[in-house]
Amino acid sequence: MFLALATALLVSPPASGRELVQQMHDRYAGRWYARLTFVQTTTFADGHQETWYEAASIPGKLRIDIAPLDQRQTIIFRNDSVYQWRAGQRQGGPFVHPLMVLGFDIYAQPVERTVEQLTTLGYDLSRIHADTWQGRPVWVVGADAGDSTTRQFWVDQERLVFVRLREPARRDPGKTSEIRFDRYQRLGDGWIAAEVQMWNGGAFVMKEEYADIRTDLTLPEELWEAGTRVEPHWME
C-alpha cells in the first residue's frame, strides 16, 4: 500500500485525458494479467438472477456464455465488433466495448489505440478535473466540474483504475446512464472490480458479482473466432 501511494505521489497531475491514459498504461504495462475467467451472478432490478460464464483475453476479447449452457446463448466481443448467438443464430456488428477499454485493455495495448477508441466513443479527452468518489480522490475525464450529464469516465487517482462512467442514456438522452466498478481487489500485479453496478436515471438496473476469478490458465485462440463454436473449460 505504501509503495502504491508513493508511486502515485511521484506522478504529475494529468493535464488531459490523454495524459491520464498514458499514466494508467505506464503504471501496469507488462504486469497486468493477460487472461481472465470468472463466474458472474447477474441480478436485475426485478430480483431475477442469471449465471454468466466469462472469459477474457486482454486486450480486446471477451466471451460470455449465459446459463443454462445447453441453450447456446453466447456473446463474443472481439476487437471492435460484437457477435451474439441465440439458439444457434448469429448476429453481429461494429461495437467498441467501453468497459473493456477502460477496465482492462488500457493497460495492455498502445496508448494511441486507447485514445482512438475513447475518442470514437465520444469522450472529450481535453477536459479533465479532480473530484471524489466513495471517499477517494478521482480524475474525471470528458466533462467540466459540475457537469454530471456529459459523457465522462472517472479514474481512482491512487490506483489508476476506472471506477465510474456517466453518459446520456441511449434510449432516453434526457436521463443519465451510470456504470460503477466497485469492490476492487488485487489480482496479481493488477486489480479487478468484483462488482459492477448499472443505473439509469437514478434507478438501479443491474448488478454483476464475480466469483471463481482465475488468471492462471491458457485460453485457446479459437475461443474468440466469430464463426466457430469452441467450448470453454466450463463446458468440458
pLDDT by residue (tens digit) across 120-161?
999 999 999 999 999 999 999 999 999 999 999 999 999 999
pLDDT at 11: 74
Alpha-helical regions (H) of the chain: 2-10, 17-28, 98-103, 111-120
Percent of the chain with pLDDT over 70: 90
SS3 157: coil
SS3 223: helix
Which pTM does this prediction carry?
0.91
Name the band, by pLDDT with cuts 50, 70 and 90, for residue 182.
very high
Task: Tell me the mean pLDDT in the region 30-44.
Answer: 96
pLDDT at 232: 59
Amino acid at 200: N
Compute CA 8 distance to the chain's CA centroid, rounded to the nearest angstrom: 22
pLDDT at 223: 87
SS3 123: coil
pLDDT at 13: 96
Q: What is the spatial distance between Cα 86 and Cα 83, in angstroms, rounded to a whole number?
A: 10
Q: Which three three-digit cell numbers place residue 89?
A: 443464430
pLDDT at 200: 96
